[in-house]
């Protein structure tokens, strides 16, 4: 039981992340957001 549960826990999140387009779009949003913050040193967004 424990082994099966651990395997499912390890496999399911990776599959969901790889197959779901929503997660990809969210990652792209975060990536672009962080890049903008890095290039523009204005801390207005953080405040």
pLDDT score for 18: 61
Segment 2-17, tens digit of pLDDT: 556 555 556 666 666 5
Alpha-carbon distance of 11 to 19, in angstroms, equals: 12
Q: Confidence band (pLDDT; 50, 70, 90) for 1?
A: low
Please, what is the end-to-end C-alpha distance for the chain in angstroms? 48
Average pLDDT in the chain: 65
Residue 4: what pLDDT?
Answer: 61
Rg (CA), the chain: 17
**Between residues 21 and 10, the one the model is more confident about:** 21
Instruction: Say how far residue 34 (Cα) sits from the centre of its chain.
Output: 13
Q: Model confidence over 23-44: pLDDT tens digits?
A: 778 778 877 777 776 666 655 5
Q: Length of the chain, please?
A: 47
């Amino acid at each position: 039981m424990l082994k099966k549960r651990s395997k499912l826990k390890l496999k399911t999140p990776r599959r969901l992340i790889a197959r779901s387009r929503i997660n990809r779009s969210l990652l792209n949003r975060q990536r672009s957001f962080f890049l903008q913050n890095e290039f523009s040193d204005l801390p207005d967004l953080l405040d």
